[in-house]
Structure 1
Protein backbone atom coordinates (compact mmCIF):
# COMPACT_ATOMS: atom_id res chain seq x y z
CA UNK A 1 0.00 0.00 0.00
CA UNK A 2 1.29 3.43 -0.92
CA UNK A 3 -0.47 6.57 0.28
CA UNK A 4 0.78 10.12 0.49
CA UNK A 5 -1.31 10.66 3.61
CA UNK A 6 -3.98 8.89 5.59
CA UNK A 7 -4.34 5.60 7.43
CA UNK A 8 -2.54 2.50 6.18
CA UNK A 9 -2.92 -0.93 7.76
CA UNK A 10 -1.01 -3.86 6.31
CA UNK A 11 -0.92 -7.52 7.36
CA UNK A 12 -2.15 -6.64 10.84
CA UNK A 13 -2.54 -9.34 13.50
CA UNK A 14 -3.77 -8.36 16.97
CA UNK A 15 -4.25 -10.41 20.11
CA UNK A 16 -5.70 -9.92 23.59
CA UNK A 17 -4.25 -11.98 26.44
CA UNK A 18 -2.76 -14.39 23.91
CA UNK A 19 -6.02 -14.81 21.98
CA UNK A 20 -6.02 -13.67 18.31
CA UNK A 21 -8.78 -11.13 17.55
CA UNK A 22 -7.61 -9.75 14.16
CA UNK A 23 -5.74 -11.52 11.39
CA UNK A 24 -4.14 -10.21 8.20
CA UNK A 25 -5.96 -6.87 8.12
CA UNK A 26 -5.21 -4.75 5.05
CA UNK A 27 -6.99 -1.40 4.96
CA UNK A 28 -6.28 2.00 3.40
CA UNK A 29 -8.20 5.19 4.19
CA UNK A 30 -6.75 8.19 2.32
CA UNK A 31 -6.77 11.66 3.82
CA UNK A 32 -10.06 13.43 3.19
CA UNK A 33 -12.06 10.20 2.97
CA UNK A 34 -14.58 8.58 5.31
CA UNK A 35 -14.74 4.78 5.37
CA UNK A 36 -17.25 2.57 7.17
CA UNK A 37 -16.48 -0.84 8.65
CA UNK A 38 -19.49 -3.17 8.81
CA UNK A 39 -19.64 -6.40 10.74
CA UNK A 40 -21.56 -8.50 13.25
CA UNK A 41 -21.01 -8.29 16.98
CA UNK A 42 -17.74 -9.92 18.00
CA UNK A 43 -16.19 -9.62 14.54
CA UNK A 44 -13.26 -7.47 15.71
CA UNK A 45 -14.46 -3.99 14.72
CA UNK A 46 -13.86 -2.35 18.11
CA UNK A 47 -10.61 -4.31 18.44
CA UNK A 48 -9.34 -2.68 15.26
CA UNK A 49 -10.09 0.83 16.54
CA UNK A 50 -8.44 -0.02 19.86
CA UNK A 51 -5.32 -1.25 18.05
CA UNK A 52 -5.14 1.96 16.00
CA UNK A 53 -5.58 4.09 19.13
CA UNK A 54 -3.11 2.01 21.14
CA UNK A 55 -5.51 0.97 23.89
CA UNK A 56 -4.54 -1.87 26.24
CA UNK A 57 -4.72 -4.85 26.35
CA UNK A 58 -4.69 -5.03 22.53
CA UNK A 59 -1.26 -6.07 21.23
CA UNK A 60 0.01 -6.02 17.64
CA UNK A 61 1.77 -9.31 16.86
CA UNK A 62 2.33 -8.83 13.11
CA UNK A 63 1.93 -6.20 10.42
CA UNK A 64 1.91 -2.44 10.73
CA UNK A 65 -0.36 0.57 11.25
CA UNK A 66 0.84 3.83 9.70
CA UNK A 67 -0.68 7.29 9.77
CA UNK A 68 0.59 9.94 7.38
CA UNK A 69 3.59 7.72 6.74
CA UNK A 70 4.56 7.21 10.39
CA UNK A 71 4.40 3.83 12.06
CA UNK A 72 2.16 3.68 15.12
CA UNK A 73 3.15 0.20 16.27
CA UNK A 74 5.50 1.21 19.07
CA UNK A 75 3.91 4.50 20.05
CA UNK A 76 2.03 4.83 23.35
CA UNK A 77 -1.52 6.17 23.36
CA UNK A 78 -0.44 9.70 24.33
CA UNK A 79 1.97 9.91 21.39
CA UNK A 80 -0.75 8.80 18.98
CA UNK A 81 -3.06 11.49 20.35
CA UNK A 82 -0.33 14.09 19.79
CA UNK A 83 -0.04 12.92 16.17
CA UNK A 84 -3.68 13.90 15.76
CA UNK A 85 -5.57 10.65 16.32
CA UNK A 86 -8.88 10.97 18.15
CA UNK A 87 -11.64 8.51 18.98
CA UNK A 88 -15.34 8.78 19.81
CA UNK A 89 -16.01 5.91 22.20
CA UNK A 90 -19.14 3.79 22.25
CA UNK A 91 -19.40 3.81 26.06
CA UNK A 92 -17.24 6.63 27.47
CA UNK A 93 -17.00 6.99 31.25
CA UNK A 94 -18.49 9.84 33.26
CA UNK A 95 -15.93 12.31 34.60
CA UNK A 96 -17.21 13.82 37.81
CA UNK A 97 -15.74 17.23 38.58
CA UNK A 98 -14.71 17.91 34.96
CA UNK A 99 -17.01 20.24 33.06
CA UNK A 100 -17.19 20.75 29.31
CA UNK A 101 -15.83 24.26 29.87
CA UNK A 102 -12.84 22.94 31.84
CA UNK A 103 -12.14 20.31 29.17
CA UNK A 104 -12.20 22.95 26.44
CA UNK A 105 -9.96 25.26 28.48
CA UNK A 106 -7.38 22.49 28.89
CA UNK A 107 -7.27 22.25 25.10
CA UNK A 108 -7.30 26.05 24.60
CA UNK A 109 -10.47 25.50 22.59
CA UNK A 110 -12.97 27.75 24.35
CA UNK A 111 -13.83 29.51 21.09
CA UNK A 112 -14.63 26.21 19.38
CA UNK A 113 -16.69 25.08 22.38
CA UNK A 114 -19.18 27.94 22.01
CA UNK A 115 -19.57 27.43 18.26
CA UNK A 116 -19.63 23.64 18.09
CA UNK A 117 -21.73 23.10 21.22
CA UNK A 118 -24.47 25.21 19.67
CA UNK A 119 -24.28 23.24 16.43
CA UNK A 120 -24.76 19.98 18.37
CA UNK A 121 -27.51 21.38 20.61
CA UNK A 122 -25.22 21.18 23.64
CA UNK A 123 -24.97 24.89 24.41
CA UNK A 124 -26.75 24.39 27.73
CA UNK A 125 -24.32 21.63 28.73
CA UNK A 126 -21.07 23.60 28.96
CA UNK A 127 -21.18 23.79 32.77
CA UNK A 128 -22.21 20.14 33.12
CA UNK A 129 -19.83 17.39 34.21
CA UNK A 130 -18.71 15.16 31.35
CA UNK A 131 -21.20 12.36 30.69
CA UNK A 132 -22.63 12.62 34.21
CA UNK A 133 -26.39 12.22 33.90
CA UNK A 134 -26.23 12.39 30.09
CA UNK A 135 -28.71 10.40 28.00
CA UNK A 136 -27.47 8.00 25.33
CA UNK A 137 -27.96 10.58 22.59
CA UNK A 138 -26.30 13.32 24.62
CA UNK A 139 -23.26 11.08 25.20
CA UNK A 140 -22.95 10.41 21.47
CA UNK A 141 -23.20 14.12 20.63
CA UNK A 142 -20.64 14.95 23.33
CA UNK A 143 -18.20 12.43 21.87
CA UNK A 144 -18.47 14.25 18.53
CA UNK A 145 -18.02 17.62 20.24
CA UNK A 146 -14.99 16.25 22.05
CA UNK A 147 -13.37 15.46 18.70
CA UNK A 148 -14.18 18.92 17.39
CA UNK A 149 -12.41 20.42 20.42
CA UNK A 150 -9.41 18.10 20.04
CA UNK A 151 -9.14 18.94 16.31
CA UNK A 152 -7.56 15.59 15.29
CA UNK A 153 -6.52 14.55 11.78
CA UNK A 154 -7.61 10.91 12.07
CA UNK A 155 -11.07 10.45 13.60
CA UNK A 156 -12.33 7.05 14.75
CA UNK A 157 -15.99 6.45 15.59
CA UNK A 158 -17.07 3.38 17.56
CA UNK A 159 -20.75 2.54 16.87
CA UNK A 160 -21.91 6.19 16.80
CA UNK A 161 -25.57 5.22 16.24
CA UNK A 162 -25.91 2.54 18.94
CA UNK A 163 -28.40 3.11 21.73
CA UNK A 164 -29.77 6.43 20.44
CA UNK A 165 -32.98 7.51 18.73
CA UNK A 166 -33.24 8.52 15.08
CA UNK A 167 -33.10 12.26 15.78
CA UNK A 168 -29.73 11.89 17.49
CA UNK A 169 -28.44 9.53 14.79
CA UNK A 170 -29.19 12.18 12.16
CA UNK A 171 -27.43 14.89 14.20
CA UNK A 172 -24.40 12.67 14.82
CA UNK A 173 -24.19 11.64 11.16
CA UNK A 174 -24.24 15.22 9.95
CA UNK A 175 -21.60 16.16 12.53
CA UNK A 176 -19.33 13.31 11.40
CA UNK A 177 -19.55 14.59 7.84
CA UNK A 178 -18.70 18.11 9.01
CA UNK A 179 -15.60 16.88 10.83
CA UNK A 180 -14.21 14.78 7.99
CA UNK A 181 -15.21 17.11 5.13
CA UNK A 182 -13.98 20.36 6.72
CA UNK A 183 -12.50 22.21 3.70
CA UNK A 184 -9.71 23.90 5.65
CA UNK A 185 -8.63 20.82 7.62
CA UNK A 186 -8.29 17.56 5.67
CA UNK A 187 -9.11 14.61 7.92
CA UNK A 188 -9.29 10.85 7.65
CA UNK A 189 -12.36 9.11 9.11
CA UNK A 190 -13.21 5.51 10.02
CA UNK A 191 -16.65 4.58 11.38
CA UNK A 192 -17.50 1.12 12.67
CA UNK A 193 -21.12 0.02 12.74
CA UNK A 194 -23.16 -3.09 13.44
CA UNK A 195 -26.54 -1.92 12.15
CA UNK A 196 -25.32 0.29 9.29
CA UNK A 197 -27.96 2.91 10.13
CA UNK A 198 -25.35 5.66 10.24
CA UNK A 199 -24.81 5.15 6.49
CA UNK A 200 -28.13 6.86 5.87
CA UNK A 201 -26.75 10.06 7.40
CA UNK A 202 -23.07 10.23 6.40
CA UNK A 203 -21.36 10.43 3.02
CA UNK A 204 -19.06 7.43 3.06
CA UNK A 205 -16.45 7.02 0.33
CA UNK A 206 -16.01 3.29 0.85
CA UNK A 207 -17.14 0.42 3.06
CA UNK A 208 -15.56 -2.80 4.28
CA UNK A 209 -17.00 -5.96 5.84
CA UNK A 210 -15.13 -7.42 8.81
CA UNK A 211 -16.01 -10.92 9.90
CA UNK A 212 -14.10 -13.35 12.09
CA UNK A 213 -11.28 -10.88 12.54
CA UNK A 214 -10.69 -10.51 8.78
CA UNK A 215 -11.71 -8.02 6.09
CA UNK A 216 -13.72 -10.17 3.66
CA UNK A 217 -15.01 -7.50 1.27
CA UNK A 218 -14.55 -3.85 0.28
CA UNK A 219 -16.50 -1.66 -2.10
CA UNK A 220 -18.75 1.33 -2.60
CA UNK A 221 -20.56 2.05 0.65
CA UNK A 222 -24.18 2.05 -0.68
CA UNK A 223 -23.60 -1.15 -2.67
CA UNK A 224 -21.96 -3.04 0.18
CA UNK A 225 -24.57 -1.89 2.70
CA UNK A 226 -27.37 -3.01 0.38
CA UNK A 227 -25.68 -6.41 0.13
CA UNK A 228 -25.48 -6.71 3.93
CA UNK A 229 -29.16 -5.81 4.27
CA UNK A 230 -30.19 -8.67 1.96
CA UNK A 231 -27.40 -11.24 2.29
CA UNK A 232 -25.96 -10.57 5.73
CA UNK A 233 -22.28 -10.12 6.51
CA UNK A 234 -21.00 -12.19 3.60
CA UNK A 235 -18.63 -11.45 0.75
CA UNK A 236 -20.49 -10.45 -2.45
CA UNK A 237 -20.10 -12.82 -5.36
CA UNK A 238 -17.29 -11.86 -7.73
Structure 2
Protein backbone atom coordinates (compact mmCIF):
# COMPACT_ATOMS: atom_id res chain seq x y z
CA UNK A 1 0.00 0.00 0.00
CA UNK A 2 2.80 2.42 0.87
CA UNK A 3 6.35 2.39 -0.45
CA UNK A 4 8.90 5.00 0.61
CA UNK A 5 12.29 4.90 -1.09
CA UNK A 6 15.41 6.90 -0.11
CA UNK A 7 13.30 9.78 1.19
CA UNK A 8 15.17 12.94 2.14
CA UNK A 9 13.20 15.88 3.56
CA UNK A 10 14.24 19.36 4.66
CA UNK A 11 12.30 21.81 6.80
CA UNK A 12 13.15 25.49 6.30
CA UNK A 13 16.40 24.44 4.63
CA UNK A 14 17.46 22.07 7.44
CA UNK A 15 17.74 18.36 6.53
CA UNK A 16 15.52 16.28 8.84
CA UNK A 17 14.89 12.94 7.11
CA UNK A 18 17.98 11.27 5.68
CA UNK A 19 17.22 8.33 3.41
CA UNK A 20 14.02 6.70 4.71
CA UNK A 21 13.13 3.30 3.22
CA UNK A 22 9.82 1.87 4.40
CA UNK A 23 7.15 -0.41 2.97
CA UNK A 24 3.75 -0.98 4.57
CA UNK A 25 1.58 -3.72 3.10
CA UNK A 26 -2.21 -3.66 2.83
CA UNK A 27 -3.69 -4.50 6.22
CA UNK A 28 -0.41 -3.99 8.08
CA UNK A 29 0.05 -1.79 11.16
CA UNK A 30 3.52 -0.30 11.63
CA UNK A 31 4.69 1.30 14.88
CA UNK A 32 7.35 4.03 14.88
CA UNK A 33 9.34 4.85 18.02
CA UNK A 34 11.99 7.49 18.56
CA UNK A 35 13.14 10.32 20.80
CA UNK A 36 11.82 13.86 20.45
CA UNK A 37 13.23 15.69 17.45
CA UNK A 38 14.17 12.54 15.55
CA UNK A 39 11.90 13.29 12.58
CA UNK A 40 8.84 11.12 13.25
CA UNK A 41 6.22 13.86 12.87
CA UNK A 42 8.10 15.21 9.86
CA UNK A 43 7.63 11.84 8.17
CA UNK A 44 3.87 11.86 8.76
CA UNK A 45 3.48 15.49 7.68
CA UNK A 46 5.46 14.74 4.52
CA UNK A 47 3.30 11.70 3.74
CA UNK A 48 0.18 13.85 4.16
CA UNK A 49 1.61 16.53 1.86
CA UNK A 50 1.88 19.54 4.17
CA UNK A 51 3.68 22.61 2.89
CA UNK A 52 7.03 23.43 4.43
CA UNK A 53 8.27 19.84 4.16
CA UNK A 54 10.51 19.78 1.10
CA UNK A 55 11.29 16.41 -0.48
CA UNK A 56 14.84 16.83 -1.77
CA UNK A 57 15.33 13.23 -2.87
CA UNK A 58 13.45 9.94 -3.03
CA UNK A 59 9.85 8.93 -3.66
CA UNK A 60 6.52 8.13 -1.98
CA UNK A 61 4.25 5.64 -3.74
CA UNK A 62 0.73 4.99 -2.43
CA UNK A 63 -1.40 2.25 -3.95
CA UNK A 64 0.94 2.07 -6.92
CA UNK A 65 0.73 5.82 -7.60
CA UNK A 66 3.62 8.24 -7.12
CA UNK A 67 2.38 10.96 -4.75
CA UNK A 68 5.79 12.46 -3.91
CA UNK A 69 4.71 15.91 -5.04
CA UNK A 70 0.92 15.50 -4.99
CA UNK A 71 -1.12 18.14 -3.10
CA UNK A 72 -2.63 17.30 0.27
CA UNK A 73 -6.26 17.20 -0.90
CA UNK A 74 -5.37 14.68 -3.61
CA UNK A 75 -3.72 12.39 -1.06
CA UNK A 76 -6.78 12.59 1.16
CA UNK A 77 -9.06 11.69 -1.75
CA UNK A 78 -6.83 8.76 -2.65
CA UNK A 79 -7.29 7.38 0.86
CA UNK A 80 -4.75 8.77 3.32
CA UNK A 81 -6.04 10.12 6.64
CA UNK A 82 -4.20 11.56 9.61
CA UNK A 83 -4.88 12.12 13.30
CA UNK A 84 -2.72 14.97 14.57
CA UNK A 85 -0.96 15.28 17.88
CA UNK A 86 -1.93 18.98 18.10
CA UNK A 87 -4.61 19.79 15.51
CA UNK A 88 -5.58 23.44 15.01
CA UNK A 89 -8.72 25.14 16.26
CA UNK A 90 -11.00 26.18 13.39
CA UNK A 91 -13.33 28.96 14.46
CA UNK A 92 -16.55 29.28 12.50
CA UNK A 93 -16.61 25.64 11.36
CA UNK A 94 -18.89 23.36 13.42
CA UNK A 95 -17.49 19.88 14.00
CA UNK A 96 -20.64 18.36 12.46
CA UNK A 97 -19.89 20.17 9.19
CA UNK A 98 -16.28 19.06 9.32
CA UNK A 99 -17.38 15.43 9.66
CA UNK A 100 -19.79 15.87 6.74
CA UNK A 101 -16.93 17.17 4.60
CA UNK A 102 -14.82 14.14 5.56
CA UNK A 103 -17.68 11.85 4.50
CA UNK A 104 -17.61 13.37 1.00
CA UNK A 105 -21.29 12.82 0.28
CA UNK A 106 -21.55 9.30 1.67
CA UNK A 107 -24.72 8.75 3.65
CA UNK A 108 -23.81 8.38 7.31
CA UNK A 109 -25.59 8.73 10.63
CA UNK A 110 -23.15 11.24 12.08
CA UNK A 111 -24.98 11.48 15.40
CA UNK A 112 -24.80 7.71 15.87
CA UNK A 113 -21.13 7.66 14.90
CA UNK A 114 -20.46 10.46 17.40
CA UNK A 115 -22.11 8.45 20.17
CA UNK A 116 -19.57 5.66 19.62
CA UNK A 117 -16.76 8.02 20.63
CA UNK A 118 -18.84 9.90 23.23
CA UNK A 119 -18.81 13.02 21.10
CA UNK A 120 -22.49 13.64 20.31
CA UNK A 121 -22.65 16.59 22.73
CA UNK A 122 -19.85 18.42 20.88
CA UNK A 123 -21.00 18.22 17.25
CA UNK A 124 -22.29 21.79 17.08
CA UNK A 125 -19.18 23.34 18.64
CA UNK A 126 -16.43 24.75 16.43
CA UNK A 127 -13.64 22.32 15.59
CA UNK A 128 -11.40 21.91 18.67
CA UNK A 129 -12.59 25.19 20.22
CA UNK A 130 -12.08 24.77 23.95
CA UNK A 131 -11.77 21.00 23.69
CA UNK A 132 -9.76 18.99 26.21
CA UNK A 133 -7.04 16.60 25.06
CA UNK A 134 -9.40 13.63 25.12
CA UNK A 135 -12.13 15.55 23.29
CA UNK A 136 -9.69 16.56 20.57
CA UNK A 137 -8.65 12.94 20.05
CA UNK A 138 -12.27 11.81 19.85
CA UNK A 139 -13.00 14.56 17.33
CA UNK A 140 -10.07 13.41 15.21
CA UNK A 141 -11.25 9.80 15.36
CA UNK A 142 -14.79 10.78 14.36
CA UNK A 143 -13.42 12.57 11.30
CA UNK A 144 -11.41 9.48 10.33
CA UNK A 145 -14.49 7.29 10.80
CA UNK A 146 -16.28 9.49 8.27
CA UNK A 147 -13.35 9.66 5.85
CA UNK A 148 -12.74 5.88 5.82
CA UNK A 149 -9.13 6.12 4.58
CA UNK A 150 -7.08 3.14 3.44
CA UNK A 151 -3.94 4.37 5.21
CA UNK A 152 -4.25 5.83 8.71
CA UNK A 153 -1.49 8.01 10.15
CA UNK A 154 -1.54 8.54 13.94
CA UNK A 155 0.80 11.04 15.58
CA UNK A 156 0.97 10.00 19.25
CA UNK A 157 -2.68 8.99 19.81
CA UNK A 158 -1.99 8.74 23.57
CA UNK A 159 -0.83 12.35 23.89
CA UNK A 160 -2.95 14.45 26.27
CA UNK A 161 -5.38 11.58 26.93
CA UNK A 162 -6.37 10.41 30.41
CA UNK A 163 -6.76 6.72 31.29
CA UNK A 164 -10.52 6.62 30.73
CA UNK A 165 -10.26 8.27 27.33
CA UNK A 166 -7.23 6.12 26.46
CA UNK A 167 -9.36 2.97 26.48
CA UNK A 168 -11.93 4.60 24.18
CA UNK A 169 -9.25 5.99 21.87
CA UNK A 170 -7.39 2.68 21.78
CA UNK A 171 -10.46 0.58 21.00
CA UNK A 172 -11.55 3.04 18.29
CA UNK A 173 -8.12 3.05 16.65
CA UNK A 174 -8.21 -0.73 16.61
CA UNK A 175 -11.67 -0.77 15.01
CA UNK A 176 -10.51 1.68 12.34
CA UNK A 177 -7.51 -0.50 11.54
CA UNK A 178 -9.11 -3.94 11.83
CA UNK A 179 -12.47 -3.05 10.32
CA UNK A 180 -14.27 -4.95 13.09
CA UNK A 181 -15.36 -4.01 16.63
CA UNK A 182 -12.68 -4.43 19.28
CA UNK A 183 -14.93 -6.98 21.02
CA UNK A 184 -15.09 -9.20 17.93
CA UNK A 185 -14.64 -12.88 18.75
CA UNK A 186 -12.46 -13.59 15.69
CA UNK A 187 -8.93 -14.76 16.45
CA UNK A 188 -5.97 -12.45 15.96
CA UNK A 189 -4.86 -14.47 12.93
CA UNK A 190 -8.34 -14.22 11.38
CA UNK A 191 -8.47 -10.47 11.97
CA UNK A 192 -5.07 -10.00 10.36
CA UNK A 193 -6.09 -12.02 7.30
CA UNK A 194 -9.23 -9.93 6.86
CA UNK A 195 -7.62 -6.51 7.36
CA UNK A 196 -7.32 -4.17 4.36
CA UNK A 197 -6.65 -0.87 6.15
CA UNK A 198 -3.03 -0.02 6.95
CA UNK A 199 -1.67 2.11 9.76
CA UNK A 200 1.47 4.03 10.68
CA UNK A 201 1.49 4.99 14.37
CA UNK A 202 3.97 7.16 16.26
CA UNK A 203 4.14 6.38 19.97
CA UNK A 204 6.30 7.46 22.90
CA UNK A 205 4.62 5.65 25.74
CA UNK A 206 3.55 2.48 23.93
CA UNK A 207 0.09 2.56 25.57
CA UNK A 208 -1.54 2.14 22.15
CA UNK A 209 0.04 -1.32 21.92
CA UNK A 210 -2.39 -2.49 24.59
CA UNK A 211 -5.19 -2.08 22.03
CA UNK A 212 -3.94 -2.41 18.44
CA UNK A 213 -2.70 -5.47 16.59
CA UNK A 214 0.70 -4.10 15.59
CA UNK A 215 2.75 -6.09 13.08
CA UNK A 216 6.15 -4.43 12.80
CA UNK A 217 8.11 -1.62 14.37
CA UNK A 218 11.25 0.45 13.95
CA UNK A 219 13.05 3.30 15.67
CA UNK A 220 13.69 6.66 14.03
CA UNK A 221 16.91 8.26 15.19
CA UNK A 222 18.54 11.37 13.68
CA UNK A 223 16.21 11.16 10.68
CA UNK A 224 16.98 7.53 9.87
CA UNK A 225 15.21 4.22 10.51
CA UNK A 226 16.91 1.43 12.41
CA UNK A 227 16.38 -1.47 14.83
CA UNK A 228 13.49 -3.35 13.23
CA UNK A 229 11.72 -5.84 15.51
CA UNK A 230 8.39 -6.70 17.03
CA UNK A 231 6.89 -3.48 18.52
CA UNK A 232 6.67 -4.79 22.09
CA UNK A 233 10.27 -6.00 21.93
CA UNK A 234 11.39 -2.53 20.88
CA UNK A 235 9.33 -0.88 23.60
CA UNK A 236 10.73 -3.15 26.32
CA UNK A 237 14.27 -2.59 25.08
CA UNK A 238 13.87 1.20 25.06
CA UNK A 239 12.40 1.09 28.58
CA UNK A 240 15.38 -0.91 29.85
CA UNK A 241 18.25 0.52 27.81
CA UNK A 242 17.14 3.76 26.17
CA UNK A 243 18.08 4.52 22.58
CA UNK A 244 21.80 3.78 22.81
CA UNK A 245 21.58 0.60 20.72
CA UNK A 246 20.21 2.72 17.86
CA UNK A 247 23.57 4.45 17.55
CA UNK A 248 25.24 1.06 17.13
CA UNK A 249 22.59 0.06 14.61
CA UNK A 250 23.15 3.21 12.53
CA UNK A 251 26.89 2.62 12.71
CA UNK A 252 26.41 -0.82 11.14
CA UNK A 253 26.90 -2.94 14.25
CA UNK A 254 25.77 -6.56 13.95
CA UNK A 255 23.36 -5.89 16.80
CA UNK A 256 21.31 -3.70 14.47
CA UNK A 257 18.19 -5.77 14.96
CA UNK A 258 17.16 -5.66 18.58
CA UNK A 259 16.02 -9.26 18.54
CA UNK A 260 15.93 -11.90 15.83
CA UNK A 261 12.36 -12.83 16.77
CA UNK A 262 10.04 -13.73 13.86
CA UNK A 263 7.56 -11.02 12.96
CA UNK A 264 4.40 -13.09 13.44
TM-score by length of 1: 0.92
| Counterpart among 177, 183, 204 of residue 194 in structure 1 | 204
Report how many residues are paired: 233
1:136 correspondence with 2:133: yes
Structure 1: unaligned runs, 5 residues or longer: 1-5
- 1:122-157: per-residue Cα shift (whole Å, max 9, x none)? 122222221111111100111111111111111111
1:147 correspondence with 2:144: yes
**What is the alpha-carbon distance in structure 2 between the residues aligned to residue 134 and residue 109 of structure 1?**
27
Runs of 4+ in 1 over 4 A off after TM superposition: none
Deviation at 1:105, TM superposition (A): 3.1
Which position in structure 1 is the counterpart of 2:221? 211
Contact 1:86 1:150 in 2 (8 A): yes
**What is the alpha-carbon distance in structure 2 between the residues aligned to residue 144 and residue 105 of structure 1?**
14
Most deviating of 22-31 and 178-187:
178-187
Which position in structure 1 is the counterpart of 2:70? 75
Most deviating of 192-201 and 204-213:
192-201
| Counterpart among 216, 234, 241 of residue 224 in structure 1 | 234
| Counterpart among 48, 51, 60 of residue 56 in structure 1 | 51
Contact 1:112 1:148 in 2 (8 A): no
The 3-state SS of whatever aligns with 2:108 is: helix
Deviation at 1:185, TM superposition (A): 7.4
Structure 2: unaligned runs, 5 residues or longer: 181-193, 250-254, 258-264
The 3-state SS of whatever aligns with 2:96 is: helix
Which position in structure 1 is the counterpart of 2:261? none
Which position in structure 2 is the counterpart of 1:172? 169
TM-score by length of 2: 0.83
Which position in structure 2 is the counterpart of 1:3? none
Deviation at 1:118, TM superposition (A): 1.2
- 1:59-91: per-residue Cα shift (whole Å, max 9, x none)? 111111111111111211111111111111111
- Structure number with the higher strand fraction is 1
Contact 1:101 1:110 in 2 (8 A): no
